[in-house]
Amino acid sequence: MSSPQVAVVGSANLDLVFNTDRLPVPGETVLGGKFATHPGGKGANQAAAIARLGGQASLVGCVGTDANGRVLRSALTEIGVRVEFLQDDPHTPSGTAGILVDRSGANMIVVAPGSNFSVTPDQVQAAINSLNPDIVLAQLELNLDAVQAASHAKRFILNPAPSQPLPDEILAQCEVITPNESELKALTGISPTDASTCEQGSRILLDRGVSNVVVTLGDRGSYWTSASSGRHFPPIAVQAVDTTAAGDAFNGALAWFLATGREMANAIQLANCVGALSTTKPGAQESMPTWEEFAAVASEWL
């Protein structure tokens, strides 16, 4: 029997990370500390999270033929992500993200999508036809028509980040949608401050055709709502260093555990652990836990 596969339809960016004591307010300049570059992008990070856990992941996306594109492709290959469906665009620079991280690990991010917006529906459909993945996972750092093509997979998970209005045609294809607090508010007008408001906002999305809503709540864990249940999953306790890509770690892990046949509740609990562990190291892809690191804290749920 072949191993489960997840196709991640998404972005690859080079992250330019500035560490500072505190995040600036509009119009303010603050002196930072360390500066570093890291391979990132929501799609690439989520694929990396799967590969670091020992899973089979392919990234369907696009990078430029510039030096950044070569760095991004090489980093994914080294981690073990399949990149035969990561195309080169000779006319557009690779995606780039500017990230500010304060001493508590909180961050602010601005993304210049670049070649990520070169991904086409035909490219996505061809990749899905070739890979026949168990699950397709997508985000919104691509053109919406590429996401629409991804949504026709047999099992589709959408991480609606960064937030934007979504048509019912895409929502109705979502086996799972995974908004964070600000994304749920943008999609529904409901701010998820407690279990009641998590469920209230989630049920708006259920009414639009989504099967399962998993709201990621940062250091408060996550909340799952389906037609028949609503349940909070508390976080595990860690010392956060950098929260960059914690949501990506969660999403990649959730897709992988569901692809391996785990039940939703168990997959969410395990993904909570992966997301939390990713905050204990700086960076994006390099912060994703290995299976050994993950199993050491998640043994009671495995």
- Give 81-127 pLDDT, tens digit per residue: 999 999 999 999 999 999 998 988 888 989 899 999 999 999 999 99
Token digits of residue 212: 């399962």
Handedness of CA 66, 68, 72, 78 (dihedral sign): positive
For the CA atoms of 177, 147, 89, 284, the dihedral, rounded to the nearest 10 degrees, stands at: 0
Of 4-8, 104-108, 122-126, 254-258, the range with the lowest mean pLDDT is 104-108
This prediction has a pTM of 0.94
**Residue 152 domain boundaries:** 5-25+33-301
Over the range 128-166, which residues count as b (16 or more CB within 10 Å of their CB) and which as e?
beebebbbbbbbbbbbeebbbbbbebebbbbbbbeeeeb
Whether omega for the bond prior to residue 167 falls within 30 degrees of 0, making it cis, is: no
Unique residue bearing structure tokens 């600036």: 24
Catalytic residues: 248
Nearest to 40 by CA among 105, 116, 104, 92: 116
Domain count, the chain: 1
The Cα–Cα gap between 64 and 70 comes to 8
Which CATH number characterizes residue 243's domain?
A: 3.40.1190.20
Contact 180, 215 (CB under 8 A): yes
Q: What is the pLDDT of residue 2?
A: 67
Handedness of CA 255, 278, 106, 218 (dihedral sign): positive
Pairing of strands 135-138, 5-9: parallel
Share of the chain above pLDDT 70, in %: 99
Q: What angle do CA 207, 151, 85 make, to 5 degrees?
A: 160
